[in-house]
């Protein structure tokens, strides 16, 4: 009769089973950590550890102010005052008898004191204007355009204070009737550099036509508010005067 001997080799897990338990535990811990990290980044996506956070936009650089600096000029005040005191004594010569034939020396001593104050003539400046831009003192100039006789128009510039640098990006408005055609349009200074920096141009037609004050131009701002008085124009029917130059100066 043989003795019973149990097989003790199956009483516990082997090395392979332990390794599987450890790997399973690590996988569970990694999964829990990944879920926790996802929740944290979802709640606060701007954390530095988030590689997909919203990039910071660069600050917008502000462009330079195109509004020209206003300069107010006043004429120098010169008030010379010349003061003088004049006096004289008139004495009747001896030998001239008085009406009463009395030999009394008639003496008359009038004293005249005069204070002369000379005021200078007022400065020859243009009449005050409520507008910051005025027509140049040289006025409107009629010349022969470089585009030939098959063209006629208006051009010019707007200058800063004291005949300063030309001003660009400022509208000039043209309105009126010329050669049976109605005009109501703007030109921007700087759009016609062939007339110099800040130049503007209006094309009226293909041939010179005479007219008298049926057209006018005016400097305006971006919303159409007047910056100068209306300048009425006279056009000519010859090629030597088919271009009108209208320049403005800033006075304040």
**Within this chain, do residues 238 and 137 fall inside the same structural domain, yes or no?**
yes
Instruction: Give the span between the Cα atoms of 196 and 245, in whole angstroms.
Output: 12
Residue 206 lies in a domain: yes
Q: Does 159 fall in a domain? A: yes
Structural domains of the chain, count? 2
Residue 81 pLDDT grade (very low, low, confident, very high; cuts 50, 70, 90): very low
- If one compares 3 and 152, the residue with the highest pLDDT of the two is 152
Residue 161 covered by a domain: yes
Confidence of residue 177 (pLDDT cuts 50, 70, 90): very high
Is pLDDT larger for residue 77 or for residue 188? 188
What is the Cα–Cα distance from 211 to 215, expressed in whole angstroms? 8
Is residue 59 assigned to a domain?
no
In a domain, 170, yes or no: yes
Global pTM reads: 0.51
Number of C-alpha atoms within 13 angstroms, CB side, residue 242? Answer: 20
Is pLDDT above 50 for 191?
yes
- The pLDDT mean for the chain works out to 78
Q: Regarding beta strands 133-135 and 248-250, do their DSSP bridges make them parallel or antiparallel, or are they unpaired?
A: antiparallel
Mean per-residue pLDDT, 233-251: 97
pLDDT digits (tens, 9 = 90+) for 43-67: 777 777 767 766 665 555 555 555 5
Q: Which residues contact 27 (CB under 8 A, 6 or more apart)?
A: none
Nearest CA to 166 among 143, 188, 186, 189? 189
Q: Which domain holds residue 22?
A: 16-52
Residue 74 lies in a domain: no
Report the alpha-carbon distance of residue 23 to residue 35 in Å, rounded.
18
Q: How confident is the model at residue 115 (pLDDT cuts 50, 70, 90)?
A: low
> Beta strand pairing status for 243-245 and 152-156?
parallel
| Mean local confidence (pLDDT), 19-40 | 87
Residues 48 and 137 in one domain: no
In a domain, 89, yes or no: no
Q: For the segment 98-113, what is each residue's pLDDT rounded down to a tens digit?
A: 444 444 444 455 555 5
Q: Is residue 146 part of a domain?
A: yes
138: domain CATH number?
2.60.40.10
pLDDT digits (tens, 9 = 90+) for 126-173: 566 789 999 999 999 999 999 999 999 999 999 999 889 999 999 999
């Amino acid at each position: 009769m043989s003795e019973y001997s149990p097989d003790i080799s199956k009483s516990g897990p082997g090395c392979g089973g332990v390794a599987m338990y450890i790997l399973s535990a690590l996988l569970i811990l990694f999964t829990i950590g990944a879920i926790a990290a996802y929740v944290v980044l979802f709640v606060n996506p701007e954390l530095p550890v988030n590689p997909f956070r919203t990039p910071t936009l660069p600050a917008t650089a502000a462009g330079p102010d195109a509004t020209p600096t206003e300069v107010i000029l006043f004429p120098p005040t010169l008030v010379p005052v010349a003061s003088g005191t004049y006096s004289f004594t008139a004495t009747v010569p001896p030998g001239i008898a008085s009406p009463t034939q009395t030999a009394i020396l008639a003496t008359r001593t009038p004293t005249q004191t005069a204070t002369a104050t000379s005021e200078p003539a007022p400065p020859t400046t243009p009449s005050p204007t409520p507008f910051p831009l005025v027509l140049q003192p040289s006025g409107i100039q009629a010349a022969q355009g470089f585009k030939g006789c098959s063209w006629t128009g208006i051009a010019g510039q707007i200058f800063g204070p004291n005949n300063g640098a030309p001003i660009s990006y400022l509208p000039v408005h043209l309105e009126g009737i010329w050669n049976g055609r109605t005009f109501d349009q703007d030109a921007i200074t700087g759009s016609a550099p062939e007339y110099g920096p800040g130049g503007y141009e209006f094309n009226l037609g293909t041939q010179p036509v005479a007219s008298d004050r049926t057209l006018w131009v005016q400097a305006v701002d971006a919303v159409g508010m007047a910056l100068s008085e209306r300048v009425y124009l006279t056009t000519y029917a010859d090629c030597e005067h088919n271009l009108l130059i209208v320049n403005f100066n800033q006075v304040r």
